[in-house]
Chain A
Amino acid sequence: MTKKIFICGCEKDGKIEKKSVERLIHSLEEKNMGYTYIEDLCGTVLKTPDALESLFTAADALVFGCQSRAMQNLISNSGKKIHENKTEYYHIDDADGNKLVESVKTDNPKALKIKYADEWKPWYPVIDYERCNGCRKCLNFCLFSVYSVEDDGSVVVSASANCKDMCPACARVCPQNAIIFPKHAESPIDGGEGVMLSGDNILEQIQNDDVYSVLSARRSNFKVSLLKKEQLKMAEEERINCSTKEEPQDKACECDCICKTETEPDCDCKDEGSDKNCCC
């Protein structure tokens, strides 16, 4: 069974480790396997999607890069991928993915490259339609009209270039965690696992209870949790310190002179071979 292998290097503001990319490429080349290196999938999909034709039409493809859910939705939202074709997505550091490389065959040992030459850093949201319930919170939330609604009522990312670099705010308001920013530093906004911290429905509480006491409670809860975190950190550090450092030896001599209380004493009990006081 032959597969086509694609690697995204996330070169615009690298989200993934260069070393990981080099390691994978190295192991492919060692085995004389063909692959296509994409400088920046986010950028190419948006700016020059035609360049990705080999990916869209590949009957069986393996794609390595950032979070698999991010890449999968990025590609499927482009609407250009042939639906029936098999495509698997793996994080570049994913053990299973790297294992898979050991066993697959590629039909062409050539290394190809898809460039992304644009100045613009492709920072924009990707909607995971398996999660999106069409509530339109993002649409109303975004100040820059990145989102719009299709005739069938589905929310789409229609003005990606309007999105403000490094602003993942809409992803945080999404009640379904359906918005992905592939280049975001943290999970789950980058498409990784995990869920967003929830505030016990504080928004709801605000509408139903006394706003001020809800806010006060939130603040004091947070202070307590910060304190706990701090204490935990301290405890952690103390434990490490205790396990590595040895107890300093008490080297004090048994003299009874002033060098024990004076800061710069001049007493007779000199350390052998140095001019320091032995007990200080």
Chain B
Amino acid sequence: MILRKDKPSGKLGNGLPQSPEKLKQIRDLICDYAAEKELVPPLQEEEVIFHSGELIKKHPELFLYQKLLAVMINNHSWRDIVSGIPFNRRILLLPKCISHSTDCPAQFDELGLLCEQCGKCDIADILTQADELGYHTLVSEGTTTVTTLLTSGKVECVIGVGCLHSFERSFPLAVKEGVPSIAIPLYNNDCKDSKVDEIWLNEVLPIRRESNWRGWINIDALRSEVDSWFEKEQLEYMLEGDDKSSQISRDWLAEGGKRWRPLIMVAVYKALKGTEVNLDECIQKLAVSIESFHKASLVHDDIVDDDNERYGKATLHKQYDTSVAINIGDLILGYGYQLIAESGAKHIRKLLKIAALGHRDLSIGQGEELLWRRNKKLLSVDKIIKIFSLKTSPAFEVALQFGAIISDADDEVMKILTAYSSALGIAYQIKDDLEDFNHDNLDNAFNTIQPSLVTALINRKYPDKMEVWFKDFQNGDDLSKKEIWKQTEIREGIKEAEQMLEDYKLQALSSIADLKSPALKILLTRFLNKILNG
């Protein structure tokens, strides 16, 4: 389905039936509805609202309860996965407002209420039951704790009780991090002496199927594992050679960086094959191969831009000289292909082709940019998007597709990954561009080395003004001193670019809406969030 970019209306019916029987009846309706659809989580806000609208078409009498329906549909989409998560990896979040508003003797710490089990409210009973099952429990006073938990990226499952109000806050966070979650609304929104439907809660808490769901990927842990493949000894084992050039190349590969690409590849592999899958030598070689293509392009990039520093150290052509650096870049590119060929993977031909196409597209994108630099004119918005797409998308795409190919994924998945990486790559570049503009230093934004979307947007709307600024800039005027970023035209351009960033984010999310594998869908949702916000 296509996600709309306009925010869903805030005027949805937010009533809640006040009897457990009626709530159960609606839950059953949802089961019937969901049985006919394939609801693969995480569903976006627009999707759950869409489905709740569909339900109301069938059952007009439920129009008062649209928010509740949305919550229930979302719950249903997670149900199966939640039931595959061990109790001791789940967190039960209760709101403080269930406690007795005047007689509660409990004290608080930063996370919330420390229940003394005095029995004056329902919390003690619920906590005891959850404790016995093995849940971690929290009685929190509001959104800070919940936000921290949900955005930590370390929580595998949440059962949350709260008012419909609070769910509107927490839902987008849970979706961004793809946290399997079930939400149970309170009967009232008064923030005191609240009640929860215990029949519903008792139905949810003990759900547990026999087998475990193996789709949750601990990204931090996986990153350290991937990092270990880039230690010197490991690289020497994979890429032998005692000569000086080989040594320089290996050192360059071992140098810092976020290692997004190998991480993405391995994470996709785990998502599709199950988290317990073995990351053997074949996988490790492919991961290092992907990083090699990237690191080689950085060496060449640094020469082209004549940058002095990378990862807080001198760039290769500054450490040695340009000729040496060009050659090292070439050598590392060779490693990339060598490692694929030596990996022993089942689909070596497919992998080689993808790597080669990525290599090619990157060079074409780079070429467009370099040829444009020669004539120092402002580019059109379309042209810039095209360069962004060619320059950045292939890097993500190669990593994603490597992960999919070694997991024997079908063509449908491959197509989705292409669409996803295209949107993600463009969004990534727009974000980068915006960061240049949001710093007080406009040198980067206005320079003629990197094509800037913001500049192009301003130029499209206000070509006369832009011409003046551009000339000033080329004549060496210090535009920062003139506080040029305070100009409304520039603010407008920045705003427009920010909107485009949101659009491409949504486009990336829409592209994965039809994925059948929840694990992969969750992973890609989390990556989008991490890469664009982290």
Residues of A within 8 A of B (CB): 137, 140-141, 143, 164-167, 169-170, 172-173, 185, 196-199, 201-203, 206-207, 210-212, 215-216, 218-219, 222, 226
Cβ-neighbour of A141 out of B137, B143, B192 (below 8 A)? B143
- Known interface pairs A173-B142, A185-B102, A212-B89; A203-B111 also in contact (CB < 8 Å): yes
Q: In the docked arrangement, what's the CA distance between A210 and B156, Å?
A: 11
State the Cβ distance, A91 to closest chain B Cβ, in Å.
21
Q: In the docked arrangement, what's the CA distance between A166 and B88, Å?
A: 34
Interface string of B118-147 (1 = CB under 8 A from A): 000000000000000000111001111100
Flag if A203 contacts B148 (CB, 8 Å). yes
State the Cβ distance, B177 to closest chain A Cβ, in Å.
12
- Known interface pairs A196-B108, A215-B91; A172-B141 also in contact (CB < 8 Å): yes
Interface string of B142-164 (1 = CB under 8 A from A): 11110011001011000000000
Please report whether the interface of chain A is mostly helix, strand, loop or mixed according to DSSP.
Answer: helix
Q: In the docked arrangement, what's the CA distance between A166 and B78, Å?
A: 35
Residues of B within 8 A of A (CB): 88-89, 91, 96-97, 101-102, 107-111, 114, 116, 136-138, 141-145, 148-149, 152, 154-155, 165-166, 169, 190-192
Instruction: Enumerate 30 A-B pairs (CB-CB under 8 Å) in ascending A order.
Output: A143-B166, A143-B169, A143-B191, A164-B191, A164-B192, A166-B101, A166-B191, A166-B192, A169-B142, A169-B191, A172-B108, A172-B141, A197-B108, A197-B109, A201-B110, A202-B111, A203-B144, A203-B148, A206-B149, A206-B152, A206-B154, A207-B148, A211-B152, A211-B155, A212-B88, A215-B136, A218-B109, A219-B137, A222-B114, A226-B116
Q: In the docked arrangement, what's the CA distance between A207 and B152, Å?
A: 6
Flag if A169 contacts B116 (CB, 8 Å). no
Cβ-neighbour of A137 out of B89, B102, B144, B169 (below 8 A)? B144
Flag if B136 contacts A216 (CB, 8 Å). yes
| Contact residues in A for B89 (Cβ distance below 8 Å) | 212
State the Cβ distance, B84 to closest chain A Cβ, in Å.
17
Flag if B192 contacts A165 (CB, 8 Å). yes
Select from chain B the residue with minimum beta-carbon distance to A226.
B116
| Contact residues in B for A165 (Cβ distance below 8 Å) | 190, 192
Flag if B109 contacts A198 (CB, 8 Å). yes
Q: In the docked arrangement, what's the CA distance between A253 and B189, Å?
A: 69
Flag if B96 contacts A169 (CB, 8 Å). yes
- Known interface pairs A164-B190, A197-B107, A211-B149; A219-B141 also in contact (CB < 8 Å): no
| Contact residues in A for B148 (Cβ distance below 8 Å) | 203, 206-207
Q: In the docked arrangement, what's the CA distance between A5 and B96, Å?
A: 40
Flag if A143 contacts B109 (CB, 8 Å). no
Flag if A167 contacts B191 (CB, 8 Å). yes
| Contact residues in B for A215 (Cβ distance below 8 Å) | 91, 136-138
Flag if B145 contacts A203 (CB, 8 Å). yes
State the Cβ distance, A179 to closest chain B Cβ, in Å.
13
Known: A140-B143, A143-B165, A202-B110. 7 other contacts (CB 8 A): A172-B141, A202-B111, A203-B144, A206-B154, A210-B154, A211-B155, A226-B116
| Contact residues in B for A218 (Cβ distance below 8 Å) | 109, 111
Considering the complex of A and B, which 9 residue pairs feature the smallest CB-CB distances, nearest first?
Answer: A199-B109, A199-B110, A164-B191, A169-B141, A215-B136, A167-B191, A211-B154, A169-B142, A166-B192
| Contact residues in A for B109 (Cβ distance below 8 Å) | 197-199, 202, 218
- Known interface pairs A143-B165, A166-B102; A199-B152 also in contact (CB < 8 Å): no
| Contact residues in B for A199 (Cβ distance below 8 Å) | 109-111
State the Cβ distance, A225 to closest chain B Cβ, in Å.
8
State the Cβ distance, A258 to closest chain B Cβ, in Å.
45
- Among B89, B116, B144, max chain A CB count under 10 A is at B144
Q: In the docked arrangement, what's the CA distance between A171 and B102, Å?
A: 17
Q: In the docked arrangement, what's the CA distance between A78 and B184, Å?
A: 40
Q: In the docked arrangement, what's the CA distance between A57 and B375, Å?
A: 73
Q: In the docked arrangement, what's the CA distance between A199 and B148, Å?
A: 15
Q: In the docked arrangement, what's the CA distance between A199 and B138, Å?
A: 13
| Contact residues in A for B138 (Cβ distance below 8 Å) | 215
| Contact residues in A for B143 (Cβ distance below 8 Å) | 140-141, 143
Flag if A167 contacts B192 (CB, 8 Å). yes
| Contact residues in A for B116 (Cβ distance below 8 Å) | 226
Flag if B152 contacts A219 (CB, 8 Å). no
| Contact residues in A for B152 (Cβ distance below 8 Å) | 206-207, 211
Select from chain A the residue with minimum beta-carbon distance to B163.
A143
Select from chain B the residue with minimum beta-carbon distance to A196.
B108
| Contact residues in B for A203 (Cβ distance below 8 Å) | 110-111, 144-145, 148
Q: In the docked arrangement, what's the CA distance between A170 and B96, Å?
A: 12
Select from chain B the residue with minimum beta-carbon distance to A171.
B141
Select from chain A the residue with minimum beta-carbon distance to B190.
A164
Select from chain A the residue with minimum beta-carbon distance to B97.
A167
Q: In the docked arrangement, what's the CA distance between A271 and B89, Å?
A: 69
Q: In the docked arrangement, what's the CA distance between A141 and B154, Å?
A: 22
Q: In the docked arrangement, what's the CA distance between A140 and B169, Å?
A: 10
Flag if A141 contacts B142 (CB, 8 Å). yes
Q: In the docked arrangement, what's the CA distance between A79 and B288, Å?
A: 65
| Contact residues in A for B136 (Cβ distance below 8 Å) | 212, 215-216, 219
Select from chain A the residue with minimum beta-carbon distance to B107.
A197
| Contact residues in B for A196 (Cβ distance below 8 Å) | 108
Flag if A198 contacts B191 (CB, 8 Å). no
State the Cβ distance, A161 to closest chain B Cβ, in Å.
14
| Contact residues in A for B97 (Cβ distance below 8 Å) | 167
Select from chain B the residue with minimum beta-carbon distance to A175.
B110
Q: In the docked arrangement, what's the CA distance between A222 and B89, Å?
A: 20
